[in-house]
Amino acid sequence: MAILKIARMGHPILANPSVSVEDPTNPEIHHLISDMIETMRDAPGIGLAAPQVHIPKRVVIFYVPASRMPDGEKEIGLTALINPEIVALSDEMVIGTEGCLSLPGMAGKVPRYTHIQYSGLLPNGDKLVVEAEGYHARIVQHECDHLNGILYPMRMEELSTFGYTEELQKSADQNGAVNNDE
Ligand code: NI
């Protein structure tokens, strides 16, 4: 395992679509996922996409802490998803604060679908299909965007809400932390 260097916004690897993985059970993919997990934990962050570590393959990892789930629902454990796909299950969108390990120290308010279904392959080759809402849905949309060369500022409608986390926290109404990096 190794901690990998994280690409920052402006690096072309983040602006281009990544390619599908042919065989999710390939040891090289498992090695990549292990390194991504170590890199994400070191950062620390709660999600990471392979192009962020300079590997243009359709692989994402994420987890959702219990504090980000609705009351009474348990956390979403660490998930590695290969060739993920997202379908919005309603047109409803909600604005929420996001950060990204490729834009260290910054955050902004981003509209995302509130209710999605995502699918993809697990490292053992099994297919995963999950319905997600709220923050869970948000993080999956954020990570999958990375695979299409999209960073969260490109989704923002109000650039006036984009800034340095430290400054935003000073003026935040404490409605939510702005320090979860994806
Ligand atoms: Ni990100």
Per-residue confidence (pLDDT) for residue 152, from 0 to 100: 98
Select the CATH number that applies to the domain covering 12-174 from these four: 3.40.50.300, 1.10.3710.10, 3.90.45.10, 3.40.630.30.
3.90.45.10
CA of 124 to the centre of ligand 1 (A): 25
Predicted confidence (pLDDT) per residue in 87-141, tens digit: 999 999 999 999 999 999 999 999 999 999 999 999 999 999 999 999 999 999 9
Cα of 176 to ligand 1 centre, how many Å?
18
Ramachandran area for residue 144 (φ above 0: left; ψ -120 to 50: alpha; else beta): alpha
Nearest to 132 by CA among 70, 41, 58, 52: 70
Q: Is the dihedral of CA 100, 103, 107, 109 positive or negative?
A: negative
172 — pLDDT class (breaks 50, 70, 90) = confident
Domain ranges of the chain: 12-174
From CA 180, how far away is CA 182, in angstroms rounded? 7
Q: Is the pTM of this model over 0.85?
A: yes
Band of the pLDDT at 174, cuts 50, 70, 90? low
Q: Provide the pLDDT for residue 180.
A: 66
Annotated catalytic residue, options 28, 143, 158, 166: 143
Average pLDDT over residues 152-170: 95
